[in-house]
Structure 1
Amino acid sequence: MVKKLIELSLRNRYVVLLIAAGLFVWGISAIKRNPIDAIPDLSENQVIVYTEWMGRSPQIIEDQVTFPLVSNMQGIPKIKNVRGTSMFGMSFVYVIFEDNVDIYWARTRVMERLNYAQRLLPQGVTPALGPDGTGLGHIYWYHLDAPKMDLGEQRALQDWYLKFGLQTVPGVAEVASFGGFEKQYQLVIDPVKLQFYNITLMDIMNKVKANNNDVGGSKFEMSDMAYIIRGLGYVKNIEDIENIALTNVNGIPVRVKDIGSVQMGGDTRLGIFDMDGTGEVVGGIVVMRYGENADQVIADVKTKIKDLERGLPEGVTIKPSYDRSTFIEAAIDNIKFKLIEEISVVAIIVMIFLFHWRSALSIIIQIPLTIAISFIILDALGISSNIMSLTGIALAIGVIVDNGIIMSENAYRSLSAWQNERHNKKE
């Protein structure tokens, strides 16, 4: 079989060269399409269900949120395992699917079950799906360098400008904010005044919520003109909250400022983000979607950041805290160097021992052609190019070269034996 294949190839050498050229071009195209990352993604194929119910103990969360969700997720097809975690005010359910399951099919199945499980949860508790990213989805971290802005202003800039802009980048699943504090209006109530005016905290909450709203009216026509009637009631500053009426005593309104004070403050923080011991900073974490090209997504994120920097206040810049593209580029540069190094060494060794440039050329051509075919297979199997697969290809080059040298040496030996036999017959 092998003899006939070699004979067929020798008789149709131009067809073989054409096929080899086609495979090489196909391999180059596969290299460009194949996702590139620094390390292989060995994380589980999972969908995260996140539920928030602030102020409740872990035991209450476990009994009324986590357990009903875990119980209802058990019947989803192609599931390996369901894990639940309960903590103060929060519940996490990890639905682990089989490795060959499409992640978006899995998310759809989980969402269908959540619609059914919603009726089993306490009123006002709504579970949500986590981002469609893997455990290695954190590809880029950045922070703001804004010495003239406080942490609250930096966090507002991150949450309401940078985050929304970066989420439009293709391949980005989520941009998570970290550091600083979120601004909020805080009402400091005097309990003695509450008792004096006979007002409850629930009354205050309902009145403030009702007075922070716009309402629409009808259309009023007068003198061939139409006027749209609407009420503007959204809170814009501290004074608007202080002037909200809660009740009345003898016809005199009791306002929020009569039973307490209103101040601008920050939400409760569970931690801080420090940069190299120089102080707190505010920034974001870019999370990549499943199956995306990490190198390309990072490049697109950097391009988007340059565009967003034009709209930042004067003196504010964005600096990277973690950039995985540096590891990716280092791995690619390493494999390129090894390829050039091994091709050069092989060419020199073959030229020294065989002293025949055509034999050296035939062996050298095998290296890029075999690598191109390897990427065709990687692309077909959906395996990304990472430090493990590239290292495997680099190690396999030795086998490729050995095979070429053995075949060339064997061809020389066979030709030499044939020439000697032919010379002996002439004598």
Structure 2
Amino acid sequence: MSIVLVIFGLVIFNKIAVRELPDIDPSIVTVRTLYKGASAEIVDSQITQKIEDIVGGTPGLATIDSKSEDGRSVVRMEFEPGVSVDEATNDIRDRVSRIIDFLPDNAGRPEIFKTSEGSTITIWLRLRSQNLSDLDLSDYASRYLKDYFASVDGVGQIILAGEKEISLRIWINPSALSARDLTVADIENALLKENVEFPSGRLESKRIDLTLKVDKSYKNVEDFRNLPLKKARDGSLVKLKDVAKVEFGPLNMRTMFKGNGYPVVGIGIYQQSNANTIAVADGVKKKLIEVKKNLPEGAQLDVAFDRSNYIRVAVNEVYVTLFISIALVVGVIYLFLGNFSSVIIPTLAIPVSLISTFLLIYAANFSLNLFTLMALVIAIGLVVDDAIVMLENIYRRVETGETPLVASYKGAVSYTHL
């Protein structure tokens, strides 16, 4: 029986997740709303406060934390222990849907998602290049690298830090605009009306069917520069380039992500809540080797931070402590009993008990972390105590004249009845 437990325990051992700390997932729901171009004060009054008011009466709600900043509102709700995070998310989604029509027209739709209070990034990757611009680096990371690393087993969310999202930037000349009797609203309306693409129906005949599409979407900067705004008095067209400087540039120029003092694009990889941190990190590094073969010329991609390194060191230290404890226990038993054969039973009892415990850890969906491993270290003393009591009981019977086999059987039976 002991051999069977040891075999199954060793097989299960590699399937147990390894983490630094136990996985604790409180019921937390976050509502995030984007409102580009709005100041923090406007975001707070027109979005954050409205969301706080509508979700404030949610059953089981413990606390509400909110953050309003330029262009973004984040409302974080933590629920009482025992509240299902799925039910809480559905309840919040229903409540937020009631106020969507009362939010600003230019605000994005509120995003509702479940988050873990202790969720941290498992590994940071750093993309940099001397040949590519920040826009090109961001575009490459967004279009290729995010999806590529998302295929690694156990990877959850992937974020980009320092991403320079490409946008059309129009620098208006107020004097030129006023001289041509135009306003900013006129430019906005022209962009909405002229830069369009929509289906126009079908043209059907006996031999062929054609799908019609109106395509007036602009593809490059020059198209936007030649955007007609109005007809001047002399009959000429007033174009956008006559009143503004037009160029492609980053959407947000207020943020920057640096690595070792140089601008880079950071790729932050979160693991799934039930994933093995070390396995996820190893999978990402394996993918990294493949990615490096196809990077643009002059681009470099490497690991900037790996949380699994700290976990490996911490877990290995506990393993070392575990083996030292076993060696010390066996040594102390031998010194006091002075009989090598008497040490065999406690020596075998320790690994059998510890390895068998892996079955229960796996069945209970626990992980190997600092707490569970330290519990195993403490359990060594309990296991040895029981083994010594059993050994002394058997030894006493052998000294009274019983054979070792009979003494072992009767000693074990009498001990189990204590």
Q: Answer yes or no: is the 8 Å Cα contact 2:28–2:116 preserved in 1.
A: no
Corresponding residue of 2:416: none
**For 2:55 and 2:226, how far apart are their aligned partners in 1?**
49
Contact 2:334–2:340 under 8 Å retained in 1: yes
Gap runs ≥5 in structure 2: 403-418
Deviations 1:37-61 (A, max 9, x none): 1234457431111122244444443
Match of 2:48 in 1: 66
Distance 1:136 1:359, change over 3 A: farther
Q: Distance in 2 between matches of 1:177 and 1:397?
A: 46
More deviation, 201-210/162-171: 162-171
User: How far is the alpha carbon of 1:235 from its aligned partner?
Assistant: 2.5
Paired residues for 1:25-424 under 5 Å: 25-28=7-10, 30-41=12-23, 44-125=26-107, 126-130=109-113, 132-179=115-162, 181-220=164-203, 224=207, 226-250=209-233, 251-277=235-261, 279-354=262-337, 356-417=339-400
User: 1-side partners of 2:10 and 2:99: how far apart?
Assistant: 49
**Superposed CA RMSD:** 3.0
Structure 2 counterpart of 1:262, which letter?
A: V
Give the aligned residue type for 1:84. S
For the 8 Å contact 2:124–2:304, the answer to whether it is kept is yes
Q: Distance in 2 between matches of 1:38 and 1:271?
A: 32
Deviations 1:265-303 (A, max 9, x none): 2233344333234x2221211122323322222233233
Shift of 1:130: 4.4
Comparing 39-48 with 196-205, greater Cα deviation is found at: 39-48
For 1:135, what is the secondary structure of its paired residue?
coil
Taking structure 1 as reference, are residues 255 and 77 closer, same or farther at Cα in structure 2, changes over 3 Å only?
Answer: same
Q: What is the CA distance between 1:396 and its match in structure 2?
A: 2.7
Evaluate the alpha carbon distance shift between residue 356 and residue 415 of structure 1 in structure 2; reply closer, same or farther with a 3 A threshold. same
1:108-140 CA-partner distances (Å, limit 9, x unpaired):
333233223424433343211246454333111
1:352-389 CA distances to partner (integer Å, 9 max, x unpaired)?
54455554332123223322343344344443221232
Counterpart AA for 1:173? G
Aligned residues: 401
- 1:9 is aligned to none
**CA apart distance, 1:194:** 1.9
Maintained 8 Å contact 1:53/1:90: yes
| Alpha-carbon distance change, 47 to 21 in structure 1, aligned in 2, over 3 angstroms | farther
SS at match of 2:259: coil
Q: Residue by residue, what CA displacement relative to the aligned partner does 1:192-222 show, whole Å, maximum 9, x if unpaired? A: 2222322221221222233333233344468
Instruction: Please give the TM-score of this superposition, normalised by the length of structure 2.
Output: 0.83
1:407 alignment partner AA: M
Runs of 4+ in structure 1 deviating by more than 6 angstroms, as ranges, are none
What's the CA shift string for 1:122-176, capped at 9, x where partnerless?
3343211246454333111010142322222212211222123223434333211
Question: Contact between 1:152 and 1:181, CA under 8 Å: does it hold in 2?
Answer: yes
Distance apart, 1:227 and its partner CA: 4.5
Q: Deviations over 1:218-245 (max 9, x none)?
A: 4446894555433333322210111111
Comparing 64-73 with 408-417, greater Cα deviation is found at 408-417
Report the residue type matching 1:32 in the other structure: N
CA distance in 2, matches of 1:53, 1:302: 36
Distance verdict in 2 for CA 1:289–1:237, change over 3 Å: same
TM-score, normalization by structure 1: 0.82
